[in-house]
Amino acid sequence: MTKGSNLPYRQLCAELGAPVLMSEMVVARRLRQRRRSEFALIRRAASEPCFGVQLAGNKPDELAWAAALVESRGADFVDLNLGCPIDHFTRMGLGAALGRQVTRVARIVEAMRRAVSIPVTVKIRLGWNDSHRNYLEMARAVADAGASAVTVHGRTRQARYRQPADWDAIAEVAAAVPIPVVGNGDLLFPHEVEHRLATSGCAAVMTARGALIKPWIFREVREGRYLDLTAGERLAIYRRYVELARAHWGRRAGSEEGDGAGAGADGELDEHARTRIRDFLRWHVGFWVRYVPRRPDGSWPGMQQREAIVHPRSALEALLTRTDDAAVDYITDRLLDGGDLDSPPPVPEGDQSADEPTMVETQG
Ligand SMILES: Cc1cc2nc3c(=O)[nH]c(=O)nc-3n(C[C@H](O)[C@H](O)[C@H](O)COP(=O)(O)O)c2cc1C
């Protein structure tokens, strides 16, 4: 996930039980241009049990070259992005736009396969829009071209997040191709993962927003049960992310650029490192405050509806459900500084946060 799959966040998810992790989307051409920022995206953490790099591009030779590069840097598998809906990329023929070109995709997968010995996988959507749903044709083509697995996000490019993922279509793919299919869309609680695995024919499932909203979803799936974490337990997980982020991006005030001196939990950060960590942290807090536990009547909140916790069980839980800017800034700054969260800003009058749409328009 762009931004979300940053290295320290992947480390956090790995600690919480994620068995397979994927990089942010990496543009093959930018690697070729030797852009440092793109090279940072293909770095793996030692603690990642299985790490894939996802590439965006549309030229067989460029993607083959990039696949070989990421293999040489330690990736366990390399994935091709056919899902990115963002105009900036689709106008260049990448992501979901490439997903309309079955023959070209097959050529790309063949070229990537020839260039590496690690598995090549592909992530697709159902199609461009409702009148162009080519998922079966595309999945068969990438399987024939030698892909080791295909991930299916059960929506078209045009649907963005407006409709629920179509798991019937995902199941159709699983029945149609001889390679493992990874199903993706709307998984937030462990019983949902269990249900989809049992009924879709998928070999595995992938979660994106679920991992951002509640990174302990991986622990839940491993343990096979819903974990009703207290606000304090949630906070400990968020603080762990700050520790990992400081160790990764942190530079102690006064240290040399690039000397690898990641500031530990207590080290003072230089201004550049602090700004960067704060930016990522605030972005993550924006997802963390969307978490809603199982409702008191035993029913489950869904990924697609935004709702507030009706009866917060503590002042901290009430704070952690606030989406207004003042609260998100306050949580971010207290986490960054390691301080208590016992004097939150007043709730803005007429706070409408519970009525906001579910998700930012973003990747996928
Ligand atoms: C912040 C964000 C960034 C994303 N970036 C990528 C990406 O780089 N590559 C990709 O294939 N999908 C990306 N996606 C889409 C997800 O991988 C996934 O297909 C989609 O969100 C549906 O799954 P979910 O319901 O579990 O969120 C992104 C999603 C989000 C929310």
Q: What is the pLDDT of residues 139-160, one digit of tens each?
A: 999 999 999 999 999 999 999 8
259 pLDDT more than 50? no
Read off the pLDDT of each residue in 271-296 and give the average, rounded to a whole number.
96
The reply to whether 362 falls in a domain is no
Q: Is the CB of 125 under 6 A from ligand 1?
A: no
The reply to whether 113 falls in a domain is yes
Q: How sure is the predictor about 307, in pLDDT bands with cuts at 50, 70 and 90? A: confident
> What is the pLDDT at residue 233?
98
Q: Is the CB of 151 under 6 A from ligand 1?
A: no
Same domain flag for 281 and 146: no
Same domain flag for 206 and 293: no
Distance 178 CA to ligand 1 centre (A): 25
> What is the pLDDT at residue 310?
74
Q: How sure is the predictor about 353, in pLDDT bands with cuts at 50, 70 and 90? A: low
Same domain flag for 18 and 36: yes
Q: How many Å apart are CA 344 and CA 316, to the nearest integer?
A: 9
Q: How sure is the predictor about 350, in pLDDT bands with cuts at 50, 70 and 90? A: confident
Q: How sure is the predictor about 254, in pLDDT bands with cuts at 50, 70 and 90? A: low
CB-neighbour burial class of residue 17 (10 A; exposed 0-12, middle 13-18, buried 19+) = middle
> What is the pLDDT at residue 51?
98
Domain span at residue 193 reads: 7-223
Same domain flag for 186 and 256: no
Read off the pLDDT of each residue in 353-357 and give the average, rounded to a whole number.
44
Read off the pLDDT of each residue in 348-352 and give the average, rounded to a whole number.
74
Q: Is the CB of 187 under 6 A from ligand 1?
A: yes
Same domain flag for 100 and 162: yes
From first CA to last CA, the distance across the chain in angstroms is 8
Question: Which of 173, 198, 223 represents a domain boundary (last residue)?
Answer: 223
Read off the pLDDT of each residue in 99-112 and give the average, rounded to a whole number.
98
The structural domain count of the chain equals 2
Note the Cα 1 to chain centre separation in Å: 4
Which residue CA neighbors atom 5 of ligand 1 most closely? 1
Distance 79 CA to ligand 1 centre (A): 14
> What is the pLDDT at residue 222?
98
Q: Is the CB of 54 under 6 A from ligand 1?
A: yes
Going edge to edge, which strands form the sheet with 51-56? 21-27, 51-56, 77-81, 120-124, 149-153, 181-184, 204-206
> What is the pLDDT at residue 165?
97
Distance 5 CA to ligand 1 centre (A): 10
201 pLDDT more than 80? yes
Distance 339 CA to ligand 1 centre (A): 32
Please tell me which residue in 13, 50, 84, 202 is annotated as part of the active site.
Answer: 84
Q: How sure is the predictor about 209, in pLDDT bands with cuts at 50, 70 and 90? A: very high
Percent of the chain scoring above 90 in pLDDT: 86
Q: Which atom of ligand 1 is nearest to the CA of 207?
A: 26
Q: How sure is the predictor about 128, in pLDDT bands with cuts at 50, 70 and 90? A: very high
Same domain flag for 306 and 345: yes
179 pLDDT more than 60? yes
Same domain flag for 154 and 238: no
> What is the pLDDT at residue 363?
54
Question: Which of 223, 256, 276 represents a domain boundary (last residue)?
Answer: 223
119 pLDDT more than 70? yes
Q: Is the CB of 186 under 6 A from ligand 1?
A: yes
Q: What is the mean pLDDT of the chain?
A: 93
| Residue closest to 185 by CA, chosen among 196, 174, 173, 172 | 196
Read off the pLDDT of each residue in 241-249 and give the average, rounded to a whole number.
96
Same domain flag for 138 and 203: yes
Read off the pLDDT of each residue in 241-251 and give the average, rounded to a whole number.
93
Same domain flag for 35 and 143: yes
84 annotated active-site: yes
